[in-house]
A and B are shown apart, each in its own frame.
Chain A
Amino acid sequence: MSLAGRSVLVTGGNSGIGLATALQFAREGADIAILSRRTDRNEAAREVVKASGVRCITFAGSVTNEDDTRAAVQGTVAAFGGLDYAFNSAGLNQSVTPLEELSLEEFTALMDINARGTFLSMKHQIPAMRARGGGAICNCASAAGLIPSAFQVAYAGAKFAVIGLTRGAALEAAKDKVRVNVVCPGATTGEMWLRFAAEHPERAAIALAKHPLDRVGEKEEVARAVLFLCRDATFTTGHAFPVDGGRTTG
């Protein structure tokens, strides 16, 4: 139980990679806080996390709303006595749409949830971790934040932004002993990929062929990397870490 007495806030934490990561931290003994706008899943997430014998609280809200990200951090500190780690996994995938046909509404939503959400999350997490004497944040980009794909260019732009925000924040937060990294999953058994693969099987097959390990990653494999970055990688900050079966090698 290497994380007994520690706390972690996971945005988008009641499903997919976010929930898998919450469970990974819970198995190490950390108390879990979840911020999600999909409130219908919060109760089920609480139950499955608590089965590991840790405390779990959930907050209803959107990472695009500063009141919500502030309240989640303050609520976590109030409930658990401080904030040690955060995994900012709330994200949005793009429809397969050529740039010239992409609506401003969809572009804005992608930038809002992925980039603005990461900014508003870190903005309140960093001071809480400073008050604790240090901590670690892991943001969630994508292999598409390192190598873009055609017809999902706004998603790539938003995930490139997440990496830029991460690296800049790492430079600022280092003096507070807060490390900031970003995990870049390839095709992974989270909800985003599974939905994409169901809707666009041919595109998914092409995308998967670009992963040299020739399989879809398990969401637990991403979760283990997040745990490593937060708990073990004590001298790594500002790093974009691909967990992508080799997708970004070429």
Chain B
Amino acid sequence: MTGALAGKVVILTGAAGGQGRVAAKLIAQEGGKIVLTDRDPSGAVLADAIGEDALFVEHDVTEVAAWVRVVDLATERFGGVDALINNAGIAGRDTIEAMTPDRLRGYLEVNVIGALNGIQAVLATMRARSGGSIVNIASISALKAVPGLVGYSTSKWALRGLTRNAAAELAADQVRVNLVLPGAVNVSMIKDAAAPGSKTSVGAQVPMGRVAEAEEIARTAIFLASDGASYVTGAELTVDGGWCA
């Protein structure tokens, strides 16, 4: 098998969503063995369609015990974990005035603590394999203020901080940790959250004049997960058509 991820075992969270489905197929095309996880059990159908190199686990990223199970199943089926793509996330609109502690905790719980849980869960198996690669998926709202998205944006800024700290600390274990920052993407969650109005009006704000296709985000995550990026850690790679240039 050739491909950027040939022989690699990859855990992908949020695999049943729009972005996740596209990423899962591309990871399989690049030769990776893939553990798809999601709260939404429909991910099982996708795993079946990919075939014997895919496994689906119903999984809530906020639950530590559920992460233990995911890594155990990955190890049992494929022998360990080489890469983790923390793709699961939640988005929504909030103003400062209307924000509540519980709502903010909700964003942090999934978008930040969910990623931390994943990093902690795979660390032992990556150490045992003399290294690994973790890719967190944020948003360009981690680079700037986005009025009306305070909860989402704040959680993505925190994920960026988690990524940098994890990169610096886990380098000693040869575990690389990087961040992808998509702009507007042609899949529902991000589009609804980041872009009031129609797809056309968002594209007009982007120097490249369009929104991203989910494949473009996935290809970036795959590069960072692969050995192609073997000297890259702590990077924050924008995939935004020049929006934040």
Contact = CB atoms under 8 A, between A and B. Distances in A.
B168 A237 contact: no
A222 B231 contact: yes
A200 B244 CA distance: 38
Interface in A128-178: 167-168, 170-171, 174-175, 177
B167 A249 contact: yes
A217 B231 contact: yes
Given A213-B233, A232-B219, A238 B245 contact: yes
B240 A235 contact: yes
A171 B237 contact: no
Given A167-B245, A214-B171, A236-B220, A174 B208 contact: yes
B239 interface: yes
B241 A235 contact: yes
B222 to A, nearest CB: 9
A235 B203 CA distance: 12
Contacts of A250: 164, 168
B235 A242 contact: yes
Contacts of A236: 220, 237-240
A242 B176 CA distance: 13
A245 interface: yes
B232 interface: yes
B240 A244 contact: no
Given A232-B219, A232-B223, A238-B242, A221 B231 contact: yes
Interface of chain A, main secondary structure: mixed
B230 interface: yes
Nearest to A212: B171
A221 B230 contact: yes
B212 A235 contact: yes
Interface string B207-245: 111001100110110010000111111110111111011
B245 A170 contact: yes
Pick the most buried of A170, A174, A217, A250: most chain B CB atoms within 10 A of its CB.
A174
A234 interface: yes
Given A174-B207, A213-B174, A249-B168, A241 B242 contact: no
B172 interface: yes
A233 interface: yes
Interface string A180-213: 0000001010000000000000000000000011
A177 B208 CA distance: 7
Contacts of A232: 219-220, 223
Given A170-B207, A249-B164, A233 B239 contact: yes
28 contacts: A171-B207, A171-B242, A174-B242, A212-B172, A212-B234, A213-B176, A221-B230, A221-B231, A224-B229, A224-B230, A228-B223, A228-B229, A232-B219, A233-B237, A233-B239, A234-B216, A235-B216, A235-B239, A236-B220, A236-B237, A237-B208, A237-B242, A238-B245, A239-B245, A241-B235, A245-B233, A246-B234, A250-B168
Given A213-B233, A228-B229, 8 more contacts: A171-B245, A186-B231, A213-B231, A224-B228, A225-B232, A235-B240, A242-B232, A249-B168
Closest 5 CB pairs of A and B: A238-B245, A212-B171, A249-B234, A174-B207, A217-B231
Interface of B: 164-165, 167-168, 171-172, 174, 176, 183, 207-209, 212-213, 216-217, 219-220, 223, 228-235, 237-242, 244-245
Interface of A: 167-168, 170-171, 174-175, 177, 179, 186, 188, 212-214, 217-218, 221-222, 224-225, 228, 232-239, 241-246, 248-250
